[in-house]
Amino acid sequence: MSSERPVLVDADAMLGRHPRRAVGDGGVTAALLRMDRFGISEALVGHTMSWLHDPATGNRRLLELLAGQPRLSPCWVMLPDTCGEIGTPAAFVDAALASGVRAVRAYPADHGYDLGGADAAPVLDAVTEAGLPLLLDAAQISWPAVEAIATARPRLTIVVGEVGYRTLRQVAGVLARTDNVHLGLANLSSHCGLEWLAGRFGARRLVFGTGAPARDPAEAVTRLLWADLDDGTVAAIGAGNLRNLLCKESRAA
């Protein structure tokens, strides 16, 4: 088909140790070597310390690790501001934008709050205003909650990863009723689901991501490259769609 390799930009990668998987030291060098092995040009990365220890500490640690790493862009983890852990919503997004953070991830299930409730609303509003995409794993939130957040904030870009293979009935409904919900390719594993989703909702709703290192990047790379989609569509999913989302309306741009 194609004479040139598709460019791949990973929207779903992580640094740091993992307590339940043998994924190595989680360092920058390992991440770059892994990207080279799988032909991935750039990656949007978070840190497991933000997820499984303390978001504020992990977010700071992430910036330290990514200094001077042009292929890696930071993704911070948000919290509601009810306890003052990450500063006021305005201070959080101001610091994020000033630090080159390109997206924000939320773990409402693991961090014990309701992303669609009143507690998280001020932070979500600030993230929306800043033009930062919101990344979520499907296990962290219900699809009705995703839809409610997306409908309440039509300018907020939401990317849901780790969709698996059991939820197309719910996913399709939410994609049909919203315009700002997107899906990541990490563990997007329904048989022919990628082609079905691209055909039904448009390829712009799909964003390449690996879920590395907990998930093997071979899955998403092989799924995309051997997809029954034309080269232009693969290029869009592989890199173009994410770049468009990251550039859109960012207050820092």
Partner 1 sequence: MNPLLSALWARRPQRSLRIVDAHAHSGPYSLFFIPDAGPEGMIKVMDRCGVAHAVLSSHLAIQLDAATGNAATAAAVAHAPDRFTGYLTVNPWQDPLAELGKWGDDPRFGGIKLHPDLHDYPLTGKRYAPVWEFAQRTGCPVLTHTYDGSRYNDLGHVGEVATRHPRVVILAGHSGATPLGFDTAIEVAQRHPGVVLELCGSYNSGADVARMVREVGAGRVVFGSDFPFIDLRMSLGRVLFCDLSDDDRAAVLGGTMTDLLQWRGNAGRSRPGPFAESA
Chain residues binding partner 1 by CB under 8 A are 1-3, 5-6, 20-22, 37-39, 164-169, 172, 187, 189-196, 215-223, 225-228, 231, 234
In terms of CB distance, is 77 or 229 closer to partner 1?
Answer: 229
Least Å distance, CB 196 to partner 1, is: 4
In terms of CB distance, is 22 or 98 closer to partner 1?
Answer: 22
Least Å distance, CB 65 to partner 1, is: 23
Residue 231 and residue 5 in contact, taking contact as beta carbons nearer than 8 Å: no
Least Å distance, CB 216 to partner 1, is: 4
Strands 42-47, 134-137: pairing kind? unpaired
In terms of CB distance, is 110 or 228 closer to partner 1?
Answer: 228
Q: What is the DSSP string of 67-118?
A: TT-TTEEEEEE---GGG-SS--HHHHHHHHHHTT--EEE--HHHHTS-TTST
Least Å distance, CB 243 to partner 1, is: 21
* Enclosing H/E stretch for 136: strand 134-137
* Enclosing H/E stretch for 159: strand 158-161
In terms of CB distance, is 97 or 225 closer to partner 1?
Answer: 225
Q: How many CB atoms lie within 10 A of CB 33?
A: 12
d(CA 144, CA 170): 8
In terms of CB distance, is 61 or 215 closer to partner 1?
Answer: 215
In terms of CB distance, is 130 or 198 closer to partner 1?
Answer: 198
3-state SS class at 34: helix
Least Å distance, CB 227 to partner 1, is: 8
- Give me the sheet containing 72-77, strands edge to edge: 9-15, 42-47, 72-77, 103-105, 134-137, 158-161, 181-184, 206-207
Least Å distance, CB 210 to partner 1, is: 11
